[in-house]
A and B are shown apart, each in its own frame.
Chain A
Amino acid sequence: MKKKETKKTFNENLNRLEEISRKLEEDNLDLEIAIELYEEGVELSKICIELLKSAEVKITELKTKLNNVLEISDEDI
């Protein structure tokens, strides 16, 4: 269960949270469903906050191929 949740990206979780928030505002929503949604929302909130607190910026460096313009060969000088 926990594993499955963490597989979702932060954005997916946050979007789902916003969706739940919207749904909860609906007037003719069954109370059982509202409670289920609320529980899911609280769980998602926790996951999101944990993700945010533990997140660190990841930096990847692309190894760009040297542009041939940068090559300076002596034969030209």
Chain B
Amino acid sequence: MSEKNILTVGGLTKIIKEILEESFPSFSLIGEISNFKSHYSGHWYFTLKDSDAQISCTMWKGYNNYVFFKPEDGMKVIITGKLTVYPPRGSYQIDIRSMKPAGEGELQAAFERLKRKLFEEGLFDEVYKKEIPSSPKKIGVVTSIDGAAFKDIISVAQRRYPLVELVIAPAKVQGAGAAESIVNSIKQLNLHKDIEVIIVGRGGGSIEDLWAFNEEIVARAIFNSKIPIISAVGHEVDFTISDFVADLRAATPTAAMELATPDVNDIYMTIESFIDNSFETLLEKIDFANESLVNVIDSYGFRQPLDNVRRKSQQIDNAVYRIENNLERRLIDYKSSLQLLTSKIDSHNIEKTLKKGFVLVTQQNKFVLRGEKFVAGDSFRLKFFDKEIEVN
């Protein structure tokens, strides 16, 4: 072997690189992910393996952006890419351009794993569910600004509650970076303290289309939102992780909007019933007042003054009657006693006695009724019927 045929390490590697890279410019491969690492730069590094072998893989940020789910160890995926050789380390690897789950079962398994994890952490607990206001002035909306979901939301607002202000934080709702975009919009809306409720959602689609709403970062952003969130991912049957963690779940964006707003017709009815009922109530009150007034006029208390007058006049009458009675009785009494006295006086009529011939003896102007009272020697008077004689 001549010196000419001696290769350098670099030279050999260069040939290997050319052969390998030219032989495998683009291929698809099925394998199971292990040692998955998402570097802070955004690039992904992992190994694809099966029971027989393993091979290193890289997926640059510019490409992994378009993967709608987050790969995990143990997940079976189908990738497309090309083989590259990295001369400084003498290694070969797959430069991956696209990746999808090897079957729906893979996504379902990832979904179940995340659901269990978040459930165990308590992110679905009822105690964390915030109350949805009944008539919010401002509603935040996280969805695609061009999507049907937003059009539906606007039309419900116009029909049900035109007083509302919708604050849309546009978000990418499917494909690469959708989850990050939704998270970002939720955070942005949370900076506006006057937003009372947020609707996060999109119209219906395939499991891939909806996958952003099954991502952990979206679930955590919903959980951490200070403003109550209604999830509104258009699918009647299945739930997304977002539905479990949201404060309220709606099957569609339209339904979410209906849950977040009062119906203007109900408000009209409230106002109309106020006018009707209050007028009735007022009429009743006026009737009642009228009745009360009549009752007061008729009442015992109100009749008192007149009764008093009547009673007083009766009292006067009574008094007069009594006085009259009294006077009369007294008069009669006087008369009778007078008669009695008169007759007594009559019976003792001295004149009559004197007429019979008796004499009355007076000493010191007093009648001397007994001999022993007579004071001999003192002057006395003799009263006869016809005359009186002074005896000294």
Contacts and interface: CB of A to CB of B under 8 A. Distances in A.
A11 B135 contact: yes
A57 B282 CA distance: 36
Given A55-B162, A55-B163, A73-B62, A31 B286 contact: yes
Nearest to B292: A31
B169 A64 contact: yes
Chain B binding surface, main DSSP class: helix
Contacts of A31: 285-286, 289
B275 interface: yes
B264 interface: yes
Contact of B165 (A11, A42, A58, A74): A58
Given A35-B282, A62-B170, A57 B164 contact: yes
Given A73-B62, A77-B62, A56 B185 contact: no
A61 B170 contact: yes
Interface stretch (B265-273, B295-303, B306-314): B265-273
Contacts of B289: 31
B267 A69 contact: no
Interface string B151-171: 000100110001111111111
A51 B135 CA distance: 15
Interface string B246-286: 00000000000000000010011011001101110110011
B167 A62 contact: yes
Interface residues of B, number: 50
Q: Chain A at the B interface: mostly helix, strand, loop or mixed?
A: helix
21 contacts: A14-B135, A17-B271, A31-B286, A31-B289, A41-B278, A45-B275, A49-B271, A56-B162, A57-B164, A58-B165, A58-B166, A59-B154, A59-B165, A60-B165, A61-B145, A61-B167, A61-B168, A62-B169, A67-B184, A69-B177, A72-B61
Interface of B: 41-43, 60-63, 65, 135, 137, 145, 154, 157-158, 162-172, 176-177, 180-181, 183-185, 188-189, 192, 264, 267-268, 270-271, 274-275, 277-279, 281-282, 285-286, 289
Interface of A: 9-11, 14, 17-18, 20-21, 24-25, 29, 31, 34-35, 38, 41-42, 45, 48-49, 51-52, 55-62, 64-65, 67, 69-70, 72-74, 76-77
